[in-house]
Amino acid sequence: MFSKKSAASAPATPERSRPAAVAQLRAAVANPYVGASGAAFLFLATLAVLVMIIGDPQAGAPVVRLPLAKAVVAAAPPGWREALTMDGAGPGVTEEVFELSEAPVEGELAGEAVITLPGGPGRSRVPLPPAPIAGLSAPGPNGPLPVIAPDGRTPAEAYARPFRSNGKPKVAIVVGGLGLNARATRDAIERLPGEVTLSFVPYAEGLQGWIDLAREHGHEVLLETPMEPVDYPDNDPGPYTLLASSGPAETTKRLEWLLSRATGYFGLTNYLGSRFLNADPAMAAFTTALKARGLAFVDDGQAAGRGMGIPRASASRIIDDQLSGEAIDEQLLALEAQALERGQALGSGFAYPLTIAQVADWAREVEQRGYQLAPASALTRR
């Protein structure tokens, strides 16, 4: 029970109350909760003044306003749990994310969530349609295989990132080797703009989940195809490598195993292959299989002289042959010069942390210099 003595006591004079007030103020300041609140208020006030003076650092960045009343919980893409547990995330983090992603939303929410997207003004990560798209796959002996739809639409068309030329020289980049290192794969998917094409290793665990995540971030995807190099088997690309000495039936069998690892890719790219790419019978079988399934082929430059009769593009430069920031920047500038001369240029690189960082920085400014950043599919020709 509170004491009622204070209500009956005589009111204090101003002279008597001043020391008591000072003591109460000191006690309040000494209170850690009051101190923390004051510090927070001072920080917010300072931040508001800075924003008024220098402007919002996020100003001009694309935003998404999501009405919370209409928010829904979507099912996690297949294989995402495996992808998260590969490295860089502890089991506790994985379980918490999994539980949050599947927890139902109870009650009606109000207001809206404002999400600032990376990439600066004019860049938005518009997600690509989730795979598989109806009519573009059929069951195979080891999993779904890409097919041409009854209406004639091909996987090369359906899974490519939409693109509209603005008439400026086009520059495209393919970053490969993704899916084996979870940290590097996440970094490439999240840091690079959607116009950058990503290629994935067929042996990656949770491969479909990685491809789904890449497409959710706007990236079109290539599947890497291990091909025989001149120093095979000392340099072995991996299981189901396409061999120059194999007959058409064996090449098709190996290729179908690789194609069945996932869906959602618009085409293939080579991994190694200095011998296979120069073997005419082997390449004829490879080309026939891709044409029948409506797929494109984008190589790292080793097959630049082959037309093949399918949607094709060849990289003119490997941007990270020398792994230094200065060397990568020089290669990117050389791609710009080539695009200025020929109208378009394609470069390829590996998912080294340095490569991802340099490409991300370059991509933020390349269009300000008069070029158009394009997906690799936009540079393919028959």
Give per-residue pLDDT as tens, 56-96: 444 444 444 444 443 333 344 444 344 333 343 333 333 33
Share of the chain above pLDDT 70, in %: 68
pLDDT at 335 (0 to 100): 98
| pLDDT at residue 99 greater than cutoff 50 | no
SS3 258: helix
Per-domain residue ranges of the chain: 63-116, 137-379
Nearest to 379 by CA among 345, 338, 340, 342: 345
Residue 181's pLDDT is 97
Q: Which residue has the higher pLDDT, 309 or 101?
A: 309
Q: Confirm if 346 and 303 have CB atoms less than 8 A apart.
A: no
Kindly report which listed range (46-55, 221-230, 340-349) carries the lowest average pLDDT score.
Answer: 46-55
Question: By C-alpha distance, which of 369, 381, 379 is closest to 348?
Answer: 379
Nearest to 215 by CA among 238, 241, 236, 197: 197
Token readout for 53 is 């003076």
- 199: tokens are 């290629």
Q: Are the C-beta atoms of residues 262 and 215 closer than 8 Å to each other?
A: no
Can you name the residues that pair with 199 across neighbouring β-strands? 222
Are 162 and 124 in contact, with CB atoms under 8 Å apart?
Answer: no
Report, as an integer, the average pLDDT of 315-342.
98
369: which residues sit within 8 A by CB, 6+ positions away?
A: 336
Q: What is the pLDDT of residues 161-218, one digit of tens each?
A: 999 999 999 999 999 999 999 999 999 999 999 999 999 999 999 999 999 999 999 9
pLDDT tens per residue, range 361-371? 999 999 999 99
- Rounded to two decimals, the pTM is 0.70
CATH superfamily of 137-379: Glycoside hydrolase/deacetylase (3.20.20.370)
- Residue 319 token pair: 């941007």
Instruction: List pLDDT tens digits, range 204-237.
Output: 999 999 999 999 999 999 999 999 999 999 999 9
Query: Three-class SS of residue 89?
Result: coil
pLDDT at 183: 97
SS3 125: coil
The per-residue pLDDT for 365 is 96
More confident residue, 348 or 42: 348
